[in-house]
Amino acid sequence: MPGLESRHYLQAWHFLRNAGIEPPEEQAKDLLAVIVEVALDGGLDTVVAYRDGSARYLNQSGAVIIFDIQDAEIEKKLEALLAAGETVVAQIGPWQGPRPPAPVKGQARINLLTPSGLHFGQAEFGTLLQDSLGGPVIASALELMKTLIEKTES
């Protein structure tokens, strides 16, 4: 069904997989969302980029930015983050088992959501930032976060 939000497709695939229905091979690794979580003193900072062009930023303070409008600058940052995520998804398989608990202080997690499920990497923030696969994802997520904050403040 074309034209739905990325979250709707992800939820549908979650329930389909739970019912024993797997996505076709050509769809299995379609990246629908990238979520980057960074554990800080006050909790998690979370940046989300959806394939449908929407974005979210959840600050450790509880502040939230929801961006669902068309914006060329945001779109460019979203595309960069999704492209970096696609490079990772192409090289790793989906996580088998329940979602692990949130990362602990000092760590970051890159969550890549596809019809085949969650693909993720987790390590100390600095380690992920220096990683050849994780580094571009973390850097792109930081750029998206900064731009979302700037757009909201202006």
24 lies in some domain: no
1 lies in some domain: no
DSSP state of 46: E
62 lies in some domain: yes
Kindly list the strands in the beta sheet with 64-67, ordered across the sheet, starting from the edge strand earlier in the chain.
64-67, 55-58, 43-50, 33-40, 107-114, 117-124
71 lies in some domain: yes
Question: How does pLDDT run across 86-104, given as a tens digit for each residue?
Answer: 999 999 999 988 888 999 9
Question: How does pLDDT run across 14-58, given as a tens digit for each residue?
Answer: 999 999 999 999 999 999 999 999 999 999 999 999 999 999 999
25 lies in some domain: no
* Selection from 140, 27, 44, 37 nearest residue 89 by Cα: 27
Give the range of the structural domain holding residue 135, as residue numbers without chain letter: 6-19+30-153
The predicted model scores a pTM of 0.94
107 lies in some domain: yes
pLDDT at 154 over 80: no
What is the end-to-end Cα distance of the chain in Å, rounded?
Answer: 36
106 lies in some domain: yes
Tokens describing residue 65? 């930015």
If one counts the domains in the chain, the total is 1
Question: How does pLDDT run across 120-139, given as a tens digit for each residue?
Answer: 999 999 999 999 999 999 99
* Rounded distance between C-alpha atoms, residue 21 and residue 70, angstroms: 34
pLDDT at 3 over 90: no
Q: What integer pLDDT is reported at residue 14 of this predicted model?
A: 92
